[in-house]
Structure 1
Amino acid sequence: MNIVRTNAMLLATAGTALALSLTACQSDSDTGSAPATGSSATSSAAGKTAGGEHAGASGTKGPTGAARPAESKSPAKATGTGGSAGSTGEQASAATRVCAARDLTVTAATQGGPPYTHLVLTAKNTSGHTCRLAGAPHIQFLESHKQDVPVVDRSKPATPVVLTAGAPAYALVRLSDGGVDEENEPVSAFSVTLEGDSTVIAVSAPGKGGVAVDPAKALTGYWTPELRNGADDF
């Protein structure tokens, strides 16, 4: 009987020990899995936080990035518009018919007081339609000098001279330096031809006695919508 009780007690003790051992193992297992889960959650949270910050940064850059292309496109668009307008203007000018002698009335007037060293030529569009006045006037003052008066390059306008009906253009012409030792010759009329048209336009010199011209000093500027200081001073 004592042996049986002893065995029973031993079995009970062993069972309790086994239960405690299983409980400890289960506890250890739960404890081990908990940090793993916690680590995963932390990693996931960190990932979300990083993703959130990245998304936030991306979100911050997004509008900026979107704004930058918009800003960069805006000048390009404006440039394109300006370029288109400029191209249209140039094409319109190029498409405009060049003025012929029959389209214009050319007159001459002295500039300044005596000694009269310069003339101003005025070419008025009397055709009733728009035309383009190209280049500079081809001027010959004297029968003895068949060469055209030299042209001053700096007087060339930046854009084509387009004359609407009734509009004038001007060209400054130097006759002489006004010195008493110059080989001046009196001129009462002279010839002008236009770029692209060989028709001779006879222009009367201003004044009763005409003007004094030194062929070696004579110069002419380009046709321009108005006379400009600097470019047309020669």
Structure 2
Amino acid sequence: MNTINSLRHRSTLLAVAGTVLALSLTACQGDTDGTSASAATSSAAASATSSATGAGNGKDNSASGSPGSADSAGSTGSTGSTGAGGSAGATGSSGEHASASTPVCTARDITVTAARQDGPPYTHLVLTAKNTSRRSCRLAGFPHVQFLESHKQDVPAVAKSKPATPVVITPGAPAYALVKLSDGGVDEDAEPVTAFSITLEGDSTVIAVTAPGSGGIAVDPAKALTGYWTPELRNGADDF
């Protein structure tokens, strides 16, 4: 029995030696990457030696996990998708477009009348612009008023009377603008006005407006002021 075991052992050693020699020759004839060939040779030799020495003890010598699996942590970069919150801007940019889509009122869309406010003395007018068209329109800015032929410049506007939102008037609806004529003093350099002209922002068409009262109105060009168009008269909030 000892002789048989001895022969088996020698046969195994010879097989291992033959395997190592064959791998070495293959590595020499292969590519120039000596590092890979050496690693392959060492691995094969270790495997053959393990088989030869009866190291098959049933244990799994492979790595418990793939080292490459750590790269999967990079997927956390997907949190960048929170940038979708920018859609709020889209909601904001859609409301602005809706206001801009309302056409600006032109002289063909409205009629303008004038009435005295309070008095006497009559120091202010109320201009009423009524939408006589079949569409809604946006009454932009303030009325550009010229009272006298001798004063071609527009009456200055009062910034504090500007409304917070655009003035959109539906068919049949009015908007208003307050206009100061003078301080009401008897010594003022006032001139009588029976008719005057206005133009709208965005439209150069001249609209002729008849002054209220049989004798017209007294205007001091140095004191005249106009307010912005508003959707309602605000009970003296725009007095100036």
Range into which the TM-score falls when normalised by the shorter chain: 0.5 to 0.7
TM-score (norm 2): 0.61
Percent identical pairs in the alignment equals 80
Q: CA deviation at 1:233?
A: 1.3
Q: 1:191 aligns with which of 194, 197, 216?
A: 197
Distance in 2 (alpha carbons) for counterparts of 1:112 and 1:231 = 14
Q: CA deviation at 1:88?
A: 3.9
Q: 2:227 aligns with which of 186, 202, 221?
A: 221
Distance in 2 (alpha carbons) for counterparts of 1:195 and 1:100 = 8
1:170 aligns with 2:176: yes
Q: 1:159 aligns with which of 152, 165, 168?
A: 165
Cα deviation code 1:170-227 (max 9, x no counterpart): 0000000000110010000000100010000000000100000000000000001012
Partner of 2:111: 105
Q: CA deviation at 1:228?
A: 2.4
1:91 aligns with 2:86: no
TM-score (norm 1): 0.63
Worse-superposed segment, 220-229 or 150-159: 220-229
> AA paired with 1:119?
L
Distance in 2 (alpha carbons) for counterparts of 1:111 and 1:229 = 11
Distance in 1 (alpha carbons) for counterparts of 2:111 and 2:144 = 15
Q: Per residue, is there more helix in 1 or in 2?
A: 1
5+ residue gaps, structure 2, are 1-84
Distance in 2 (alpha carbons) for counterparts of 1:110 and 1:165 = 25
Partner of 2:122: 116
Distance in 2 (alpha carbons) for counterparts of 1:88 and 1:201 = 34
* Contact 1:176 1:218 survives alignment (8 Å): yes
Matches within 5 A, 1:52-71: none
> AA paired with 1:157?
P
Q: CA deviation at 1:229?
A: 4.6
> AA paired with 1:147?
Q
Distance in 2 (alpha carbons) for counterparts of 1:215 and 1:196 = 24
Partner of 2:218: 212
Distance in 2 (alpha carbons) for counterparts of 1:87 and 1:107 = 37
Cα deviation code 1:43-86 (max 9, x no counterpart): xxxxxxxxxxxxxxxxxxxxxxxxxxxxxxxxx9xxx59x83x6
RMSD: 2.2
Distance in 2 (alpha carbons) for counterparts of 1:107 and 1:205 = 8
Secondary structure in structure 1 of the residue aligned to 2:108:
helix
* Contact 1:154 1:231 survives alignment (8 Å): no
* Contact 1:175 1:218 survives alignment (8 Å): yes
Matches within 5 A, 1:122-141: 122-141=128-147
Between the two proteins, the alignment pairs up a number of residues equal to 157
